[in-house]
Amino acid sequence: MAFFEAFGVDFVKLAFQVINFLLVLYLLNRFLFQRVLSLIDERQTKISKGLEDAETAARDRELARAEREAALAEARTEGQAMVARSTKAAEAARDEILATAKAESARMTEQARAEIVAERDRAIAELRGQVADLALDAASQLVRSTMDGPTQRKLVADFLAETAPKPGSKN
């Protein structure tokens, strides 16, 4: 105690100060520190929840991006397939139109050739008839005599045989 008296310490005051300190500590702990600690815990919980929500949102964004890219890839693939089908159908239609046109052209060409041959044959037959008449007129004027029917026919047949086109010639 001499130690305390040397420094001027009063025990009664010291006891009151210790009791006051313990009372203030109890009151602070009861009303302030618990409240502050609960607020800090709530804040920490909110922050943790916010971080979890941010991670969830990031995962959702990544998932949505992956789904969007997959949908775009599928749309591109489908578009390319549609273009390929359209191109194939257009080529098939073009080939069909060309084949029809070629067939029609060949048919028309063949028909025109047949008409030309028929017209040529008709013209040759008509020309032969006219040539035969002219030959008979010329022959009767030269001979100045009348020939009988079989002689005239033989004369015409010989003349036509001479004037008939030879095989392989184009008259």
The reply to whether 101 falls in a domain is yes
Given this model, what pLDDT does residue 36 score?
Answer: 87
The reply to whether 42 falls in a domain is yes
Nearest by Cα to 93 from 81, 104, 101: 101
Q: ∠ CA(164), CA(170), CA(171), 5° rounding? A: 45
Q: Taking the model in full, what pTM does it have? A: 0.41
Radius of gyration of the chain (CA): 63
Domain span at residue 61 reads 2-163
- Sign of the dihedral through C-alpha 40, 42, 47, 51: positive
Q: Confirm if 156 and 136 have CB atoms less than 8 A apart.
A: yes
The reply to whether 168 falls in a domain is no
Q: Mean pLDDT over all residues of the chain?
A: 86
State how far the alpha carbon of 34 is from the alpha carbons of 22, 24, 27, 135, in Å: 16, 14, 10, 147
The reply to whether 79 falls in a domain is yes
Structure confidence by residue, pLDDT tens digits, 71-119 = 999 999 999 999 999 999 999 999 999 999 999 999 999 999 999 999 9
Is the pLDDT score of 1 beyond 80?
no
* C-alpha span between 109 and 141 (Å, rounded): 47
The reply to whether 67 falls in a domain is yes
Structure confidence by residue, pLDDT tens digits, 123-148 = 988 888 888 777 777 777 666 555 67
Q: How many domains does the chain have?
A: 1
